[in-house]
Amino acid sequence: MSIQKFAVVGSGPSGCYAAERLARKAVGPVEIDVYDRLPTPFGLVRAGVAPDHQSIKIVARVMAKTLTRDEVHFMGNVEVGGDISLAQLQDSYDGVLIAIGAPEDRKLGIPGDDLLGVVGSGAYTRWYNSHPDHTDAPPPLERVSDIIVIGNGNVALDVTRLLAKQASELEGSDISPDVEAHMLQEPTRRVTIVGRRDPQANKFSPLELREIAELEDAAMLIDPADMEGQDPEGGSKAVTLLKDNAAEYEERLAAGKPHTVRFAFRLSPEEVLGDDQGRVRAVRFRKTRVEDGSAVLTDEIEEIPAQLLVPCIGYRSLEVEGLPLEEGKVPNDDGLISDGLYVVGWAKRGPSGTIGTNRSEAQDVAERMLAECPAGGKPGRKAILPLLSDAGIKPVDWAGWLKINAAEEAAAAEDRVRKKFHAIEEMVKAVEV
């Protein structure tokens, strides 16, 4: 019986959930090769989820179970669209699944959004997670006391929390010592988290909000006037938490903590203002009023000082030759792009939802692939390995990743989980030891 052969491009949650389903539900023999451009697996679980949220990163153990199944083979350090083409994969496998996520930051699209000191949350969070694309370019945090974080979702809270934590609150994390030192260099920080709409339109999780309220060195500040008319009973638990916090505004202010985290609502960014060095100095916002759930601009302006601006407003997929892209996503029909080519996860539906949101959708697309991509006697990675070898690319398999993992864990400082490698070359070297 001939083997059904699949390539999955991307080893993040959606790629792993799909690979697991392909392996488990196949009726005949199956081989699944999971490619990733990095030598390390797990996508944003390693490179997006905050380093002080190890309880969430633990999902990597479930993903590892998939990547170590007999039918599954990890092919790290291979960029599809760079080291090999999508067409070469399509020629070699019965079905190809795109699970490349959405790594590019969406821009604010207002004057000044490219000034020095404007750093999208994708780049920012990958930097603090030591993603090799970003370790050489830390965000300009020197002499940065005023920070604006735009967005009312959990990524905004992650960025803020890590800016306002002190070293002892990072125990048990996997933050790199250089990232930590760079992040903690200012003794005083004033972070403003800005939303365009009402507090009750927020997408914060109550757990993450509570973490801000409980920061040792930071006062969470919400103007009680902002919470008027916000109904915690039809609203979410997060609204109740915001209301409770607003009620304590005076005492939180009086506590005299070195950092403040202010929540500002109903503000739409209009222009990023720079100094004579081309660096951010403030953001001008237009106040909004909310009508039928939408933010309507008013005539009132508010200017907030900032030397760093982190927009947390979404992401787009990157182009891969041969892959259609529309508005930052891969156009598809229930996961189908074209004959034998499918898409899942953030590349399919855009940057929304948690890790778990990817599961059932990836499973559905995997089952579709099993039904629609019969075994055609294709060679699978046997045809790809010589191409990579000719190009001087050394794929990192699961055993290679285990060596990287062991080296990172061995290098961990006291009270830290690991010390991540910064460069792909260092990772590949660790595999060769």
Residues interacting with ligand FAD, by CB under 6 A? 9-15, 35-38, 43-44, 48-49, 53, 56, 79-81, 99-101, 125, 155, 158, 320, 345-346, 353-355, 358
Least distance (Å) from ligand FAD to the CB of residue 405?
A: 15
Taking the least distance from each CB to ligand FAD, the nearer of 101 and 112 is 101
Q: How many CA atoms lie within 13 A of 103 on its CB side?
A: 19
Taking the least distance from each CB to ligand FAD, the nearer of 155 and 295 is 155
User: Mind spelling out the 3-state secondary structure of the chain?
Assistant: CCCEEEEEECCCHHHHHHHHHHHHHCCCCEEEEEECCCCCCCCHHHHCCCCCCHHHHCCHHHHHHHHCCCCEEEEECCCECCCECHHHHHHHCCEEEECCCCCEECCCCCCCCCCECECCHHHHHHHHCCCCCCCCCCCCCCCCCEEEEECCEHHHHHHHHHHHCCHHHHCCCCCCHHHHHHHCCCCCCEEEEECCCCHHHCECCHHHHHHHHCCCCEEEEECHHHHCCCCCCCCCHHHHHHHHHHHCHHHHHHCCCCEEEEEECCEEEEEEEECCCCEEEEEEEEEEEEECCEEEEEEEEEEEECCEEEECCCEECCCCCCCCCECCECCCECCEEECCEEECCHHHHCCCCCCCHHHHHHHHHHHHHHHHCCCCCCCCHHHHHHHHHHCCCCCECHHHHHHHHHHHHHCCCCCCCCCCCCCHHHHHHHHHC
Least distance (Å) from ligand FAD to the CB of residue 174?
A: 14
Taking the least distance from each CB to ligand FAD, the nearer of 52 and 226 is 52
Taking the least distance from each CB to ligand FAD, the nearer of 35 and 285 is 35
Least distance (Å) from ligand FAD to the CB of residue 390?
A: 18
Which residue has 């260092």 as its token pair?
Answer: 426
Taking the least distance from each CB to ligand FAD, the nearer of 199 and 345 is 345
Least distance (Å) from ligand FAD to the CB of residue 195?
A: 18
Taking the least distance from each CB to ligand FAD, the nearer of 33 and 180 is 33
The amino acid that residue 380 corresponds to is G
Taking the least distance from each CB to ligand FAD, the nearer of 36 and 270 is 36
The amino acid that residue 378 corresponds to is K
- Cβ atoms 31, 73 nearer than 8 A: yes
Least distance (Å) from ligand FAD to the CB of residue 211?
A: 11
Least distance (Å) from ligand FAD to the CB of residue 10?
A: 3
Taking the least distance from each CB to ligand FAD, the nearer of 31 and 36 is 36
Taking the least distance from each CB to ligand FAD, the nearer of 100 and 150 is 100
Distance of CA 176 to the CA centre of its chain: 17
Least distance (Å) from ligand FAD to the CB of residue 12?
A: 2
Least distance (Å) from ligand FAD to the CB of residue 126?
A: 8
Least distance (Å) from ligand FAD to the CB of residue 200?
A: 22
Taking the least distance from each CB to ligand FAD, the nearer of 43 and 340 is 43
Angle between helices 237-247 and 206-213 (to 10 degrees): 20
The amino acid that residue 128 corresponds to is Y
Least distance (Å) from ligand FAD to the CB of residue 152?
A: 15
